Amino acid sequence: MSFNDIFKSSFLDNVTSVSIFDMVLALVLAFGLGMFIFYVYKKTCSSVMYSASFGVTLVALTMISTLVILAVTSNVVLSLGMVGALSIVRFRTAIKEPLDIAYLFWSIAVGIVLAAGMIPLAVFGSIVIGVMMILLVNKKTYTNPYIVVLRVDNHESEVKAKSFIEQNTLKCAVKSKSASNGLVELNMDVRLKEDNTDFVNELAAMEGVQSAVLVSYNGDFMS
């Protein structure tokens, strides 16, 4: 064994397994596409609280995925070890919006495709997905959904109130109903005529109606 064999390191042999140009190009493209995903997220975010940190996470996740796949594709043995190492990673942060899952997978997929050298696929695919997300998520219906929370004294007042609501709305459907000691409470999904909410004032003034509340919501109802 020679002196050079003693200090020979497989670690140093892997230094040049990925060229500097490939690393810089992949990371720059990952940053650019990650920022594009961030931009689409900002344009389509419908949450009550916008999370800027989640947008930054999308950019970082795209670059991290690219970094990991670059290492995996350069060494078969490393790829096997990487699978075992990543299998123990667990994320405990709850995803509040179902759409956020799509953005996470989008970022990871772009990083993987870029690192695999399929740059046209990553760019074209991101543009198509981004346009689709903007068009579908930001698409507004002609009539916004509302919930009418109605409290009446008895069944007769309930019938009159429901009839009045049906006459002054485009669509009316009972979502839930509860009754106790003569008091009836209804939750009704309605679509307004030209967003005119004045009928609620007349509804609350009707005999037998204790209260009438109109609430805007995003179309998802949980009873």
Spatial separation of the C-alpha atoms in residues 152 and 210, rounded to whole Å: 5
Average pLDDT, integer, range 103-130: 90
Average pLDDT, integer, range 175-194: 83
The H or E element spanning position 214 is strand 209-216
Instruction: Specify the CATH architecture of the domain 145-216.
Output: 2-Layer Sandwich (3.30)
Q: How confident is the model over 165-177, as pLDDT tens digits? A: 888 888 888 888 8
Residue 217 clears pLDDT 50, i.e. is over it = yes
Q: List the structure tokens of 36.
A: 């594009």
Question: Which residue type occupies 67?
Answer: L
pTM above 0.75, yes or no: no
Domain range list for the chain: 3-137, 145-216
Question: Which residue type occupies 131?
Answer: V
DSSP state of 193: S
- Of the candidates 164, 99, 97, the one whose C-alpha atom is nearest the C-alpha of residue 136 is 99
Residue 223 clears pLDDT 60, i.e. is over it = no
Question: Any bridge partners for residue 209, and if so which?
Answer: 152
Mean pLDDT of the chain: 78
pLDDT of residue 3: 46
